[in-house]
Amino acid sequence: MEINITTFSQGETEELGTRFSSVLVPGDVVAMFGDLGAGKTAFVRGVIRGFGLDTYVSSPTFSIVNEYSCPDCRVAHFDMYRIGSEEELYGTGFYDYLDGNSVIFIEWSENIPFAIDEEAIRVSIEKGEGDIRNIRIESPREIRF
Ligand SMILES: Nc1ncnc2c1ncn2[C@@H]1O[C@H](COP(=O)(O)OP(=O)(O)OP(=O)(O)O)[C@@H](O)[C@H]1O
Ligand SMILES: [Mg+2]
């Protein structure tokens, strides 16, 4: 299934992430696609707020992965911007997070197509004019939020 939503501000994209958080369970992988500044981190920030964590979520650009412990689950937030091979991906510890205990977000999934499972929920953000963002959520299972 596919859901298409347009947002008109960063706050709206965060709000969408917060609503979307209600469908997620440990073991879910959310593969994110979209250009620099599309709003991927903003979306994840909203999700983590939805998980009940009151902390500022910033881009894991240099750390590659940031972990969060929410009241009901753990979150691993990846930025694959600088990852280009299976070997580099392995070095990030990515595969260790696929143990079913964490919800995983992957910014720059474009760089690791070989590692994105069919089961993953895909979130693609396309920039429009100004602050317009066209957001597509594709899920192999029925989701409602
Ligand atoms: N509708 C919108 N939704 C989200 N962000 C928006 C929107 N309109 C404008 N912005 C701005 O776009 C930027 C989005 O930044 P963000 O870090 O979330 O992008 P990103 O996709 O994670 O980029 P990167 O690939 O560099 O990690 C912010 O500066 C934000 O204020
Ligand atoms: Mg980002």
For residue range 89-129, list pLDDT tens digits in order: 999 999 999 999 999 999 999 999 999 999 999 999 999 99
Q: For residue 52, how many C-alpha atoms fall within 13 Å in the half-sphere facing its CB?
A: 7
Q: What's the domain range around 107?
A: 2-138
Distances in Å between the alpha carbon of 105 and those of 8, 23, 131?
Answer: 23, 14, 23
Q: For residue 137, how many C-alpha atoms fall within 13 Å in the half-sphere facing its CB?
A: 20
In a domain, 145, yes or no: no
- Taking 90 as the threshold, does the pLDDT of residue 72 lie above it? no
pLDDT of residue 62: 87
Give long-range contacts, CB 8 A cutoff, 24+ apart: 89-93: 89/115, 92/64, 92/65, 93/65
- Tell me the pLDDT of the chain averaged across its residues: 96
* Cβ–ligand 1 contact at 37 (below 6 Å): yes
Q: What angle do CA 132, 28, 68 make, to 5 degrees?
A: 80
Distance from Cα 144 to the centre of ligand 2, integer Å: 25
* Cβ–ligand 1 contact at 107 (below 6 Å): yes
Total domains, the chain:
1
In a domain, 81, yes or no: yes
Predicted TM-score of the model (pTM): 0.98
